[in-house]
Structure 1
Amino acid sequence: MTERGWGRRFEDPITIGDRILVTLLDAGNYIAALPKKEHAAPEWQAAIQALILVAEGGGPTMFARIGVMRALNCHYVPEPNPKGKEPHWGRRKLKRDQ
């Protein structure tokens, strides 16, 4: 029988610096220890809701893990590729286009 409640483990633990979040309770304690301004951000509120839904309502722990990971990476903005698409110059033409 699978474990229920806040003691459930993530399939893949979340590593934050030197800290490792293994269970839902670890993630909840980590979020609770955040500064109030950061804790009140919409990303962290969504992560909290996901944790509560998984801990109390059941379901895959992956949902809670995704919520926490999205909140952790909310400030990450991927750099655009300056090269963009490669031009079509120099490519072989199809026989029908000749």
Structure 2
Amino acid sequence: MTNGWGRPFEEPIEVDGRELVTLRDAGEYIAALPKKEHDAPEWRAAMGALLLVVERGGPTLFARIGIVRALNRHHVVEFNPKGKEPHWGRRKLKRDQ
């Protein structure tokens, strides 16, 4: 098993038509970002997670989560308050017939 920057992710991260396969690939990708984007709090958190995994030998999943969250930081999750109608909502009681 390789240590440090050479450790691979369990699943590569696809971004901009390229794959981030190892921790080094992810670090180089973050380092190549424009300064304004690189300084965003999400990318700082991703780099912090990446460094912890490299230096302390934690699970690569932590670094992957940080990077994917930073990549998707502008995605807004839409909430549908109506949701799915419960199956018991359509049934009528005998007294209401």
Normalised by the shorter chain, which TM-score bucket?
A: 0.7 to 0.9
1:18 maps to a residue whose letter is G
Cα distance in 2 between the residues matched to 1:90 and 1:29 = 54
* Per-residue CA distance 1:21-80 (angstroms, 9 max, x = gap): 000000000000000000000000000000000011101100000000000000001233
* Equivalent in the alignment of 1:84: 82
Query: Secondary structure in 2 aligned to 1:63?
Result: helix
The 1:94–1:57 alpha-carbon spacing in structure 2 relative to 1, beyond 3 Å, is: farther
* Equivalent in the alignment of 1:49: 48
* Equivalent in the alignment of 1:23: 22
2:82 maps to a residue whose letter is G
**Identical residues among aligned pairs (%):** 67
The 1:45–1:91 alpha-carbon spacing in structure 2 relative to 1, beyond 3 Å, is: same
Cα distance in 1 between the residues matched to 2:89 and 2:50 = 53
Q: How does 1:65-80 map to 2 (within 5 A)?
A: 65-80=64-79
Unpaired runs of 5+ residues, structure 2, are: none
